[in-house]
Structure 1
């Protein structure tokens, strides 16, 4: 397996920026790793806050212990779902840009 294919696979399958690390493009790697990690951390933070809210509602008897009640409680908070979608799309965009950049670097 040649080096550029390995770099593309690392960025596509493992984590954006890892392919740049294997090509010794450290600044690009840092930019992609950081720009992917920040929304991922914020996404996980939002998910955990939402899960904790639902757990608190279950503990107080406001939400039943069945799947449909928990599902409704998770989707009923509204505005935070847009934030979760934004973080997800941002992560996807960074991933695609990192992969395209690997191909750009490879063809140089």
Structure 2
């Protein structure tokens, strides 16, 4: 297997930039992808935990019944702003960009 293919697969399956770091030995490019992906993922997880905590508090307080449909409606009604969409796009671009960067690297 070519090193570029191996690096692309590692970046695609595990973490964007990991293939550049481990296989291709390109730390500057690797950290560019890794940092962007981790920051976006951290934002998405933080937002998800905040919403989950708010809903759990409502259930515990008795203001929200333990009904899956009502809980789903409450989740969908939660407005987190455009930050979640931006973070998702950044994560997707980092993942695809890392894969293509490793795959299309010239030896």
* Coordinate RMSD, CA, aligned: 1.4
Contact 2:7–2:103 under 8 Å retained in 1: no
Runs of at least 5 residues in structure 1 that lack an aligned partner in the other structure: none
Shift of 1:81: 5.7
> How many residue pairs align between the two structures?
106
Contact 2:8–2:98 under 8 Å retained in 1: no
User: Per the alignment, in what secondary structure is the counterpart of residue 15 of structure 1?
Assistant: coil
TM (normalized to structure 2)?
0.90
Larger relative contact order (Cα-Cα within 8 Å, sequence gap ≥ 6): 2
| Superposition map of 1:1-108 within 5 A | 1-21=1-21, 22-78=23-79, 80=80, 82-105=82-105, 107-108=106-107
TM (normalized to structure 1)?
0.89
